[in-house]
Amino acid sequence: MRALTWQAPNKLQVDTVPDPEIINPRDVILRVTMSSVCGSDLHLLDGYVPAMKPGDILGHEFMGEVVEVGSGISQFKKGDRVITISIIGCGDCEFCKRDDFSCCDNSNPNPQVTDLAYGQPCSGIFGYSHAFGGYAGSHATYIRVPFADVNLFKVPDGITNEQAVFVSDAAPTGYFGADNADIQRGDTVAVWGCGGVGQMAIRSAYLLGAERVIAIDRIPSRLRLAEEKAGAIVINYETTNVHEALLELTGGRGPDRCIDCVGMEAHGTQLDYAYDKAKQLMRLHTERGTVLRQAIRACRKGGTVSVLGVYGGLMDKFPMGAIVNKALTLRSGQQPGQRYANKLFEHIQKGELDPSYLLTHPMSLEESPRGYELFKHKGDECMRAVFMP
Amino acid sequence: MTTQYDPLAATHTEQQNLDQPNVQGAERAASLVGGGLLLLGGLRRGGLLGLAQAALGAMVTARGVTGRCKAKQALTPSPFESQLQQEYGWTNAEAISRTITIGKPREEVYAFVRSVENLPLVLRRVERVQQMDTTHYHWIALGPQNRTVEWDAHIEQDVPNEKIVWSTESTAYMQHKGTLLFKDAPNGLGTELQVILACEPPAGTVGYAAASLISQFSGRELNLDLRRLKQLLETGEITHSLVTTTMNKAERMDSPASATSTEGQPYVGGSI
């Protein structure tokens, strides 16, 4: 089959690689019909993650058609149109049983890296480095999905592929961030970052009862979409003092809930990497830490800061004082999309959510290196490039 | 009632603080005097060698002044090891302990591991186990450089759903004594399974240091195997990110975080 592979930092190429096979009884093989880029791919691309190996297939946000089913799977059959949640759950461990699928204990076949870096092993993620399991990603003709009974969801009739593909990651991530923010009716919510996840977080905040959502970014096309499609009040941080603007917009109180959809763009911590390498890694990304600091500083007393953006290691100058003295709640996590997929499909069917506008650049798989180029540099008003193998 | 081991005593030296002096009495005095002489001699000698000698002297002096030595600490058995040493009547003990919670009832976890023939499924280095009689087993595994190694072991103690103790025969290559302890996890979370592997290294501190290196290696390995046991018992399968099934056990061992490397082609993201 054909697949987009990582070869070296900023070097991607489309290769012919072996087709995946059913390995375990609960596996399903999909023929990928749509596979989206994601902001979190960018630090894999840039080589900031040491757990990448030449030949690794990228991509974790995707949908497809079932072509082969393992002996332990009865819910799906050949031809089903499905999406996959990008963070893999097993459905059987302590965490999956309480719907915290993204904390799955069993889905990472390579648990020692995160075990050492974070204290406990983290779940597996498609196409997301060997620290998160070394699973082949979805920018390929076919993909093997483990624990398919837990991670696959049939797309209901009346929902287009362009809408459905984002229920794999961007939509549940945004929804999870808003859910974690503990939004009360009438709240003002501030969302940092107007990429795919940010757009979904804005929409989800409204669905969960926010009265106003304020969105912060610097790219005019993204701010325009946040305003027109998601209904946000927008702030361009390149032209406006964000802290002052947020206070002015909230009668001096600060937003009730703050959602960080930017992150630090540095997630890799492989163990054998020496301390100074980690330092170097972080130094490249200190700027990104400003979003979280800004959110903590702006948030009203007793409010909630919900962190979705990818953080990987250690943060310098973390404003713990503001958290303590303003009695803030800090919540975070990778998205447990298995919890939300069917609910999101319902919102789409009722016309309350339409993620399809995120798809600005449909492309063939062969064009995918150019797709990443556009996405990375936000060229041609690219929100999301989506490959159709 | 099964023996309870204090879990805090089970960890090794790197987690222990050097709050308490571990260099005392005559040893401490010797460090002070010897270190001081080295330091002074080094300074008088000058040059690169002199500087090196002075630095060494300073380190030894610091050992004497503070009464703390990290090198010595690393070579000292943990309280847990001393406990095992007494219990087993050994002159020396090197041990590791790892515990995992498995979301299944004690009876189920016990029954699975007591069926020793199941173990090659989860122990990545073990090829197969042959049962000789009800308590004796012949083990065949992959040793260093993927050479086949074999040993015999017998079950010394078997308390259903609570404890299994086994020991290798005295001629064994991988001589060790192992204990499995089964406990109910709190809040209905299943079973806490503790694995203790101990060996009696050859005499003295040097033997201990050598065995210590081995145990650091096998501690991580043991963790990985316990994860596989948990995966299999909880989900019914062992988690894989392999793309194809064509590799044999030895090849998989050699490619820890990579995947199918089929001749001449780039391998595809995956691991075992």
Query: Which residues in chain A have Cβ-Cβ distances shorter than 8 Å to B234?
Result: 90, 92-93, 105-106
Question: Taking Cα atoms as reference points, which of A80, A90, A86 lies closest to residue A27?
Answer: A90
**Residue given tokens 């780039």 in the structure block:** B266
For an interface test with B, which of A1, A11, A17, A21 has the most B Cβ atoms less than 10 Å from its Cβ? Answer: A17
| B window 190-219, beta carbon within 8 A of A | 190
Does A134 touch chain B if contact means CB atoms closer than 8 Å?
A: yes
> How many C-beta atoms lie closer than 10 Å to residue A292's C-beta?
23
β pairing state of A233-236 and A28-36: unpaired
Position A316 scores a pLDDT of: 74
Find residues 103-122 of chain B whose CB sits inside 8 Å of chain A.
103
As a whole number of angstroms, the distance between CA B140 and CA B150 comes to 5
Amino acid at A52: M
Question: Are the CB atoms for A328 and A96 separated by under 8 Å?
Answer: no
Instruction: Check CB contact under 8 Å for B220 and A17.
Output: no
Question: CB distance from A313 to chain B under 8 Å?
Answer: no
Helix, coil or strand: residue B47: helix
Decide: helix, strand or coil at residue B155: strand
Note whether B99 contacts A: Cβ–Cβ < 8 A.
Answer: no
CATH number at residue A155: 3.90.180.10
Q: Does A63 touch chain B (CB under 8 A)?
A: no
- Please list the alpha-helical segments (H only) found in chain A: 41-45, 94-97, 112-118, 148-151, 161-164, 170-180, 196-207, 220-228, 242-249, 275-283, 289-298, 320-325, 341-349, 368-376
Average pLDDT over residues B36-40: 77
Q: Which residues contact A378 (CB under 8 A, 6 or more apart)?
A: A219, A222
Name the DSSP class of B198.
Answer: E
The answer for residues whose C-beta is within 8 angstroms of residue B24's C-beta and 6 or more apart is: B67
Lateral strand order in the sheet of A11-16? A11-16, A2-8, A56-57
**Chain-centre distance of CA A27, in angstroms?**
23
**For position A312, which CATH number holds?**
3.40.50.720
pLDDT per residue of chain A (389 residues) written in tens, 0 to 9: 999 999 999 999 999 999 999 999 999 999 999 999 998 898 888 877 778 999 999 999 999 999 999 999 999 999 999 999 999 999 999 999 999 999 999 999 999 989 988 999 999 999 999 999 999 999 999 999 999 999 999 999 999 999 999 999 999 999 999 999 999 999 999 999 999 999 999 999 999 999 999 999 999 999 999 999 999 999 999 899 999 999 999 999 999 999 999 876 533 233 333 443 455 455 454 445 788 889 999 999 999 999 997 777 777 778 999 999 999 999 999 999 999 999 999 999 999 999 999 999 999 999 999 999 999 998 889 999 999 99
How buried is residue B236: exposed, middle or buried, by Cβ count under 10 Å (0-12/13-18/19+)? middle
Q: Is A149 on the interface with B (CB under 8 A)?
A: no
Residues A177 and A301 in one domain: yes
User: What residues make up the domain containing A178?
Assistant: 171-332
Q: Global pTM?
A: 0.83
Helix H segments across chain B? 7-10, 25-45, 47-66, 70-74, 79-88, 106-114, 204-235, 249-254
pLDDT over threshold 50, residue B156: yes
A307 in the same domain as A282: yes
Does A23 reach chain B within 8 Å, measured CB to CB? yes
Q: Do A134 and B224 touch (CB under 8 A)?
A: no
Residues A12, A66: one domain? yes
Going by C-alpha positions, the residue among A159, A180, A187 that lies closest to residue A344 is A159
The total domain count for chain A is 2
**CA pair distance B59, B144, nearest whole angstrom:** 37
Judging by beta carbons within 10 Å of its beta carbon (0-12, 13-18, 19+), is residue B145 exposed, middle or buried?
exposed
- End-to-end Cα spacing for chain B: 38
Closest residue of chain A to B222, computed from CA coordinates: A112
Residues contacting A74, CB < 8 A, separation 6+: none
Tell me whether residues B271 and A146 touch, CB distance under 8 A.
no
> CA–CA separation, A206 vs A210, rounded Å?
5
Tell whether A12 and A159 lie within a shared domain. Answer: yes
Q: B211 pLDDT band (50/70/90 cuts)?
A: low
- Check if B175 contacts A (Cβ < 8 Å): no
Q: Report in angstroms the alpha-carbon separations of B102 from A2, B66, B194, B229.
A: 39, 45, 11, 8
Annotate A134-170 with DSSP letters as a single string.
-B--SSBSEEEESSHHHHEEEPPTT--HHHHGGGGTH
Contact yes or no for A136 and B189 at CB 8 A: no
Tally C-beta pairs within 8 A across A and B.
129
Is the CB of B253 inside 8 Å of chain A's CB atoms? no
Tell me, yes or no, whether A84 and A142 share the same domain. Answer: yes
Q: What is the ipTM of this complex?
A: 0.89
Residue A95 in contact with partner chain B when CB distance is under 8 A: no
Looking at the fold, whether A218 and A298 belong to one and the same domain comes out as: yes
Q: Given a cut of 60, is residue B264 above it in pLDDT?
A: no
Q: Are A139 and A35 in contact (CB under 8 A)?
A: yes
Q: Are residues A181 and A327 in the same domain?
A: yes
CA distance B109 to chain A (A): 15
Given this model, what pLDDT does residue B256 score?
34
pLDDT score, position A285: 44
Using alpha carbons, select from A218, A228, A226, A229 the residue that is nearest to residue A189: A226
b/e string for B160-199 if b means 16 or more Cβ within 10 A? ebebbbbbbeeeeebebbbbbbbbebeeeebbbbbbbbbb
Test B243 with A16 for CB contact under 8 angstroms.
Answer: no
**Contact (CB<8Å) B243/A136:** yes
- Answer yes or no: do A257 and A124 share one domain: no
CATH 3.30.530.20 in chain B is located at: 79-235
Q: Are residues A179 and A297 in the same domain?
A: yes
| Residue finishing a domain among A296, A314, A332 | A332
CA distance A147 to A90: 6
Taking an 8 Å cut-off on Cβ atoms, the answer to whether A109 and B268 are in contact is no
Please name the member of B223, B234, B265 whose beta carbon is closest to the beta carbon of A92.
B234
- Give the pLDDT mean for B113-121: 93
| Claim to verify: residue A162 and residue A201 sit in the same structural domain | no
List of chain B residues whose C-beta atoms are within 8 Å of the C-beta of residue A107: 239
Asked whether the beta carbons of A221 and A189 are under 8 A apart, the reply is: no
Q: What local confidence, expressed as pLDDT, does residue A313 receive?
A: 76
Q: In this predicted structure, what is the pLDDT of residue B92?
A: 76
* B111 min Cα distance to partner chain A (Å): 20
Token reading at B178: 């192992």
CB A35 within 8 A of CB A387: yes
Distance from CA of A388 to the nearest CA of B (A): 20
Q: Give me the pLDDT at residue B86, please.
A: 85
Determine whether the interchain pair B240/A23 forms a contact, defined as Cβ–Cβ distance below 8 Å.
Answer: yes
Instruction: Specify whether A152 is located in the same domain as A248.
Output: no
Q: What is the CA radius of gyration of chain A?
A: 20
Give the span between the Cα atoms of A365 and B123, in whole angstroms.
Answer: 40
pLDDT at B252 over 60: no
In the three-class reduction of DSSP (H, G, I as helix; E, B as strand; rest coil), residue A315 is classed as coil
Share of chain B above pLDDT 70, in %: 69
Same domain, A8 and A156: yes
- For residue A247 the two structure tokens come to 């206070």
Which CATH homologous superfamily contains domain B79-235? START domain (3.30.530.20)
Task: Note whether B231 contacts A5, CB cutoff 8 Å.
Answer: no
